[in-house]
Chains A and B, each alone.
Chain A
Amino acid sequence: MSAATTDTLQILLAAGPGPGVGPLHDLRDAGRAALAKTGLPGRKTEIWKYTRLKALDGVAWTGPDARPEIDGDWIDAQAGFRDAWRIVLVNGRFDAGLSRLTDLPSAARIAPLPEAAGAHGAVAAALGQLANAERFPMVALNAACLEDGVAIGVEERALLEKPIHVVSITAPGAQPVAAHPRLLIRIGAGAQATLLESHLHLGDGAPAFTNAVLEIIVGEGARLGHYRIHDGPENALFVATTAVSVAGGAQYDAFALNIGAGLARNESMYKLDGERAEIAVNGAYLGVGGAHIDNTTFIDHARPNCQSQETFNGVLSDHARGVFQGKILVRPDAQNTDGHQMHKALLLSGKAEVDAKPELEIYADDVRCGHGATIGALDADQLFYLRARGVDEQAARALLIEAFLLDTVERIQDLAVREAFAEALTGRLRALQSSLAHGEAA
C-alpha cells in the first residue's frame, strides 16, 4: 500500500463514526481489523487490475452529517417509480421523512439497520455473512464506517404487489462526503418481490464517494427481481458490492444500468446455493466524458442443476473506459450446470478503452458453459444500410447505439421496470446524441 492510500484510508476511517458502541460495533471492529491487514485495493489486487481508486487520494473526506436540503419532488423527478414503497438513504443514513412506507403490508418489514440488528437475532447473524470483510476490502471499509442502513425482510410466501424502491442519495454539502450505504435483504421461501435501486447524486461541485454494500438472501422457491440504475457527475466515485445467495428452486433476475460520468464499480457475487436455482444477471452501460465503468461479477455454481445467464452491453465514447470482469465458477459437485455469459462493447472514440476478462473455472464435467466477448465499432454495413434507406449518419449511429444497449434492457423480466430503464437510457442517449454521433464530445 502506498503512502497516499494509507493516508486516504485514515481520512476515510476518521470520517466514519469510530469504534463506539451499539449493535453494529462488532461489525465495525471486524471491518477495521480486516482493513488493517489488506488496506484499500491497490495495483497488486488482481480483481482491481483495471480499476484504480486514485481519485480517493488527496481529498478531505467528511462523514454524512453535512447535507443539503432535499425535497420529495426532486426525488420524484429524479428517481421515478412513484408507485412503489420508497426507502430513502441520504449519505448512507435512513431518512424516514423522505421515505414512503405508509401502506406497507405486514409481510414486509423495513427498519433501520441498528434497530433491526438489535431487535432480530437473525438480522445481526446474517449481516456480513455474504459480503465478507476479510475477502473484500471495500466491504471492510463499509463495515468499518457503518452507522446506519436498512434491513428489508419479506415473509415466506408473501407476494408484494408493488416494488420496494431504495433511493440512495449521496449529497455533499460544501465538503467532500464519503457515504457507506448498507442494505440487508431477506426474501422468505416462496415469496415474490421486486427491488429497485436508484443511486443519485445531489450537490454542486464537491467530490462524493459512495461505497454501498448489499447482502441479499433469496429463500427457497422465491423470486426476486433486482434492478439498479446509477447516475452521477464526473467527480463522483461509486462502488457497490452486492452479494446474493439464491436457494434451491429460486429465481433471481437482475439488471444494472450505469450512465454516470464518474467512476462506477459494481462488484457482484452470486451464489447458486440450492438445486434448480436460476439467475439472470444483465446490464448495460454508457460511458461518456471521463467515465470509468466497471462491472465485475462472480457467479458461483455451488449446487447441481442450476442455470445462470449473463449479458452486458456497453458503449464507450470520448475518453471513457469500460471494464467487464465476469467469472463463472462451477464447483466439483455442481453437475448438470448451464452457465452462459456474453459481453459486448462498442468503442466510439480513439481515446476510449475497454478491458474485458471473462473467466471460466470449472471443476465438474457435466456442464454446458461458455462465454463470449466482442469489442468493435458500429457495424459499417448496418450504418450503410440505414443511410441507403435515407437515414442521415448521425441518426443512424444513434439508432444503432440505442438498439445495441436496449438489446440487454429487453431481458429485464419486469415489464414496468424494463420500460422505465429503456426510457432512462434513451433519454440520456438523446441528450448526448450530437456528441455520440462523432464519437467524441466537442
Chain B
Amino acid sequence: MVASTETVKQVQELGADRYKYGFSTDIEMDMAPKGVNEDIVRMISAKKEEPEWLLDWRLKAFRAWQEMAEPEWAKVAFPEIDYQDAYYYAAPKSGDKPKSLDEVDPKLLETYEKLGIPLREQEVLAGVEGAPKIAVDAVFDSVSVATTFKRELEKHGVIFCSISEAVKTHPELVRKYLGSVVPFTDNKHACLNSAVFTDGSFVYIPKGVRCPMELSTYFRINAENTGQFERTLIIADDDSYVSYLEGCTAPQRDENQLHAAVVELIALDNAEIKYSTVQNWFPGDENGKGGIYNFVTKRGACRGVKSKIAWTQVETGSAVTWKYPSCILQGDGSVGEFYSVAITNNFQQADTGTKMIHLGKNTTSKIISKGISAGRADQTYRGLVRIGPKADGARNFTQCDSLLIGDKCGAHTVPYIESRNPSATLEHEATTSKISEDQLFYCLSRGMSAEDAVGLIVNGFCKEVMQTLPMEFAVEAQKLIGISLEGSVG
C-alpha cells in the first residue's frame, strides 16, 4: 500500500508540535450551568424540543445513574470524577441551526478546515479527481453543526443527520432502536450518556441500498470543563451496506475532560456495517497532565441472518481509555469482527478490547488486537468471547499481540473465553515481546533513524489492522502511529 507509508515524513513535518489538534477555537458558546441534575436533563431535552417519551427515558436513565457504581474492574487509575464540576451542555451560539453552511459561524468552519475536515461539498468535489466522496457530520462540543452531502444521500433513501434532527424527522426509527442495543442500565457511563446526550449522528440505510459514499462523523471537544456525550445510532436494513468513519480531537488543556459516548449499531438480514474509528483525543502532556477520559460504550447487534458488523479502531489519544466495541451475534450465520491498534505513550492508560457474544448458529467472529505500550503507559486488552448453548458451529479466532517499547511501561492481556457448545471452535493466541534488536539494527544499518525505524516496524506490526481501514483513514492513522510514539526511543 504505497499511499500509506508517509509516516516519517509527516512526523518530521509536525516537528515539535506533537499534538497538532491542540488549538482551541474562541467562539461564543451557549452553556448550561455547571453540574448535572434533573433540571439540566430537562433543559437539554427542552433545548432539543424533544418528545415526552424521550424526556421520560432520559429521566429514568438519570435516576438509575445516581444509584449506579462506577465500573472498577478495568486496569486504569484516575482520581474520582466530580460530575458536578463539568458542563453538560455547550453549543456554539448561533440561534437556530443554520440552514446552510453560509450561516455557520466562519470561525467554526475555520476550525474544521484546520482539522482537515471538509465541510463544504464543493471543496470536497474540487479536490483530487477521482477522490472518494465522504459525507461528514461535524459535532462541535455538544451539537452537530453541519452535515454534508445530505441531498445526494437522500436520493438513495439514506438518512444521515444529527440524532437531534432524527428525533424530529424519524421519531419512529429512533424510538424503536434507541437503547435497544445498549440499555441505559448497561453501565454507569452509558447511563449518564442516556440522560444527558446532546447530539451525535443518525444513519439509516434502507433495504437493498449500498450506501454510495463513506459516512463520517467528526467529533471535536472545544469548550473547557465540558463533557462530551454524543450518541450514534446506525441501522442497516436488510441487504444494505454502510461504511462509517469516526474521528475525534480536542484542544490541549490542563484539566481532564470526560467523553462518554454511546454507539449502537443494528444490522438486519444480510446487512453489513463497517465502523472505523481513529481516536485521537488529547492524550495529556509528557508529564501526564490533562487529557480526555474516554469512556465509551460501543455495541452492535447482528440481528439479521448473515449480517455483519466490523469494528476497526486506531486508538492513539486520550489520557484514559475504557472502550470495548462489541458484537452480539444473534442472526444465524452472522459475523462480528474487531480490529484494533492501541498505542499508549507517556502516562496514557488504555483498557480496551471487545466482546463477541455468539447466540445464533454458525456465527463467526474474529479479533485482531495490536497493542503498543511506551513511556510509562499501561495498556490492557480485555476481551470476552462467549458461545451460547444454541450457537451450533460457531467459530472464533483471536490474536492479541503486544509490543513494549522501554522498560517502564506495561502491557496486559485479559481474555475471557466461555463456551457452552461442543460444536463451536475457539482459538485464542496472545504474545508479548519487544521490538527485536535485529530488526532495529537492520533498519539502522540501512540509514534510518531509530525513531523512523520504530515507526516503520510498529506500522508493520499493525498492518493487519491498518489495512482494514478505508484508504483515507489509513494514511491518517499511519501518521498518528509515528507521532504517538515520538520520544519513546533513544
Contact = CB atoms under 8 A, between A and B. Distances in A.
B412 interface: yes
Interface stretch (B24-32, B244-252, B428-436): B428-436
Interface in B402-461: 402, 404-434
A371 B387 CA distance: 20
Contacts, number: 114
B416 A371 contact: no
Q: Give the contact-size bracket for chain A.
A: 35 or more
A363 B404 CA distance: 9
Contacts of A439: 422
A353 B432 contact: no
Nearest to B73: A46
Contact of B422 (A352, A355, A371, A373): A352
B389 interface: yes
A376 interface: yes
B165 to A, nearest CB: 43
A313 to B, nearest CB: 15
A332 B378 CA distance: 12
A104 interface: no
Contacts of B413: 358-360, 371
A17 B425 CA distance: 49
Contacts of B433: 367-369
A362 interface: yes
B429 A375 contact: no
A374 B419 CA distance: 10
A8 interface: no
Q: What class of interface size applies to chain B in its complex with A?
A: 35 or more
A435 B20 CA distance: 66
Interface stretch (A187-195, A202-210, A342-350): A342-350
Contacts of B414: 357, 359-360
B429 A372 contact: yes
A439 to B, nearest CB: 7
Contacts of A367: 404, 432-434
Contacts of B406: 365
A361 B407 contact: no
Interface of A is mostly: strand
B389 A350 contact: yes
A365 B415 contact: no
Contacts of A368: 433
B419 A373 contact: no
A365 B437 CA distance: 12
Nearest to A350: B422
Nearest to B434: A365
Contacts of B422: 347-350, 352, 377, 439
B389 A355 contact: no
Contacts of A365: 404-407, 409, 434
Interface string B128-161: 0000000000000000000000000000000000
Nearest to B425: A376
A353 B426 contact: no
A364 interface: yes
Nearest to B378: A363
A362 B411 contact: yes
A178 interface: no
Nearest to B429: A372
A370 interface: yes
A355 B421 CA distance: 12
A419 interface: no
Contacts of A371: 413, 428-430
A372 B432 contact: no
Contacts of A268: none
A354 interface: yes
A363 B419 contact: no
Interface string B378-408: 0000000001010000000000001011111
Nearest to B380: A361
A231 B413 CA distance: 33
A377 B417 contact: no
Contacts of B415: 356-359, 373
A147 B418 CA distance: 40
A353 B430 contact: no
Most chain A CB within a 10 A radius of its CB, from B408, B417, B434 = B417
A311 interface: no
A219 B13 CA distance: 57
A43 to B, nearest CB: 13
Given A356-B417, A357-B416, A366-B407, 12 more contacts: A347-B421, A357-B415, A357-B417, A360-B432, A363-B409, A366-B434, A369-B432, A370-B430, A371-B429, A373-B427, A374-B425, A375-B417
8 contacts: A354-B418, A356-B416, A356-B428, A357-B417, A362-B410, A371-B429, A372-B430, A375-B424
Interface of B: 73, 387, 389, 402, 404-434
Nearest first, the 8 closest Cβ-Cβ pairs linking A and B are: A365-B404, A347-B422, A370-B431, A360-B413, A376-B425, A356-B417, A365-B434, A373-B428
